[in-house]
């Protein structure tokens, strides 16, 4: 989606990925380099062919980022990436800057885990310090006798973060851009609903009080400024039942919950990312139409390479289908999304959920077919 925006404005795009070709971005790129991050020849070839570097995935090895920064401008910076790609560093960063988040403890042994659970109570959530997203690398703890060795055998991690359980009213996020000149431009605060820890539905704008939305935007700005961030980021937050807002996670990139901007905003999050990292003025983020975005996971596909019948989406006059060009549909893998535009967010939500139900019913009929 970023490559598409770049090509529209006349930029050449070079993709570096450790995936097999063609990657979704590589299908639109001028050139695609498929190599391991530690391949020095591939890195040298990449940096010789680009003027500026940005990322769409935060779990990139620090040595690779360091090598890039020595030779080309990189936005967001390696420091911002390293802070947000690790839960321990991210939570510590939030605490140091006085930004509200769930109470937490860093753990690395059975003793420190027991102490953390005793301090925070149960239930609580244990998360790997590094390389976790979409619910990966985390587990809910319901008993004080949780054993470090048992919990981490599946994760293979050396350190973790235990977070207090948050009884929230809803989850929201703010996607925003910050330019090289420090100008901060936020999109609307949106409401997110998850299924199995993966974003399922985004409602834009969020159905929260104006003061709550304003506080969410304020916190997103505080995070961006504290990181000296350049580019688009998303700050995911919990809205408590008393109206307070706590930061959950920071995503240093355009975010799934900002995909609605492609169809519902004057400037979408990917154009905004392009503008920020190339030093252009940031665009108008205004949302011109209420919208609901629904993720399409591989679970909807009848088979790994067999597509669903998209008629339920395509016959709706204000629904927009976006498929990502991934070759194989796997369970829980994000394969695409659709966005429904409406007069109100509530109307769009009702119609979007009806389309989703039709797609799921279609998959169910295929599953019970005698063939």
Q: What is the pLDDT of residues 71-89, one digit of tens each?
A: 999 999 999 999 998 899 9
In this predicted structure, the answer to whether residue 362 has a pLDDT above a threshold of 90 is no
Options 3.40.50.20, 1.10.10.10, 3.30.465.10, 3.60.20.10; which CATH number does 2-84 get?
A: 3.40.50.20
Say what percent of the chain tops pLDDT 70.
Answer: 92
**Cα 304 to Cα 331: distance, rounded to the nearest angstrom:** 9
Among 44-48, 248-252, 318-322, 366-370, name the one with the lowest average pLDDT.
Answer: 366-370
Question: What residues are paired with 178 via a beta bridge?
Answer: 184, 231
Residue 41: the pLDDT is 96
Domain extent listing, the chain: 2-84, 103-164, 168-367
According to DSSP, residue 303 is labeled B
Residue 4 near residue 270, CB atoms below 8 Å: yes
Does residue 369 carry a pLDDT above 50? no
2-84 and 103-164 in the same fold? no
Q: 370 falls in which pLDDT band (50, 70, 90)?
A: very low
- For residue 151, pLDDT beyond 80: no
State the average pLDDT for the chain: 92
Pick from 16-30, 143-157, 218-232, 238-252: least confident: 143-157
Report the C-alpha gap between 2 and 33 in whole angstroms. Answer: 17
Kindly list the distances between the CA atom of residue 70 and the CA atoms of 4, 43, 65, 96, in Å, as whole numbers in the listed order.
28, 12, 9, 28
Phi, psi (5° rounding) for residue 50? -130, 160
Q: What is the dihedral of CA 33, 38, 42, 44, to 10 degrees?
A: 130
Assign domain 168-367 to a CATH class.
Answer: alpha beta
Helix (H) or strand (E) holding 285: none
Percent above pLDDT 90 for the chain: 80
Taking the C-alpha atoms of residue 367 and residue 361, their distance in angstroms, rounded to an integer, is 10
Measured CA to CA in angstroms, residue 279 lies from 144, 182, 254, 283 at distances of: 51, 11, 17, 12
- Which position has the higher pLDDT, 269 or 151? 269
Per residue in 104-150, pLDDT tens?
999 988 888 889 999 999 999 988 887 655 556 678 888 755 566 66
Q: State yes or no: pLDDT of 303 exceeds 60.
A: yes
The predicted model gives 39-50 an average pLDDT of 96
Structure confidence by residue, pLDDT tens digits, 163-181: 999 999 999 999 999 999 9
* CATH fit for domain 103-164, picks 3.30.1490.20, 3.40.50.150, 3.40.1180.10, 3.10.129.10: 3.30.1490.20
In the structure, what pLDDT confidence band is assigned to residue 368 with cuts at 50, 70 and 90? very low
Run of H or E including 292: strand 290-297
pLDDT value of position 206: 98
Q: Which of 230, 292, 231 is nearest to 261 (CA)?
A: 292
**Smallest Cα–Cα separation from 229: which of 79, 56, 76?**
76
């Amino acid at each position: 989606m970023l490559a598409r925006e770049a090509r529209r404005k006349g930029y050449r795009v070079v993709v570096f990925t450790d995936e097999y070709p063609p990657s979704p971005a590589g299908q639109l790129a001028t050139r695609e380099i498929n190599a391991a991050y530690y391949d020095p020849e591939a890195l040298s070839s990449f940096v010789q062919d680009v003027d500026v570097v940005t990322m769409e995935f935060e779990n990139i090895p620090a040595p690779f980022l360091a090598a890039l920064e020595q030779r080309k401008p990189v936005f967001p910076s390696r420091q911002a990436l390293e802070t947000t790609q690790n839960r321990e560093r991210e939570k510590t960063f939030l605490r140091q800057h006085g930004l509200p988040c769930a109470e937490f403890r860093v753990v690395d042994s059975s003793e420190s885990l027991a102490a953390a659970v005793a301090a925070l109570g149960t239930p609580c959530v244990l998360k790997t310090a590094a390389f976790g997203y979409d619910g990966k690398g985390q587990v809910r703890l319901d008993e004080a006798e949780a054993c470090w060795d048992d919990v981490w055998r599946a994760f293979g991690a050396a350190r973790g973060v235990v977070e207090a359980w948050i009884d929230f009213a809803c989850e929201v996020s703010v996607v925003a851009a910050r330019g090289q000149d420090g100008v901060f431009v936020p999109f609307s605060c949106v409401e997110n609903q998850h299924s199995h820890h993966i974003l399922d539905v985004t409602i834009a704008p969020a159905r929260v009080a104006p003061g709550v939305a304003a506080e969410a935007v304020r916190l997103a700005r505080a995070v961006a400024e504290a990181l000296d961030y350049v580019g688009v980021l998303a700050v995911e937050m919990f809205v408590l039942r008393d109206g307070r807002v706590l930061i959950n996670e920071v995503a240093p990139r355009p975010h799934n919950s900002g995909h609605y901007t492609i169809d519902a905003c004057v400037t979408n999050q990917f154009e905004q990312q392009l503008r920020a990292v190339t030093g252009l003025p940031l665009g108008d983020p205004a949302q011109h139409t209420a919208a609901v975005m629904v993720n399409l996971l591989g679970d909807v596909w009848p088979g790994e390479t067999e597509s669903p019948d998209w008629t339920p989406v395509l016959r709706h006059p204000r629904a927009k289908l976006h498929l990502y060009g991934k070759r194989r549909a796997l369970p829980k893998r994000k394969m695409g999304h659709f966005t429904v535009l409406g007069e109100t967010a509530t109307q769009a939500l009702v119609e979007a959920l009806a389309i989703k139900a039709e797609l799921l019913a279609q998959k169910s009929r295929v599953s019970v077919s005698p063939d």
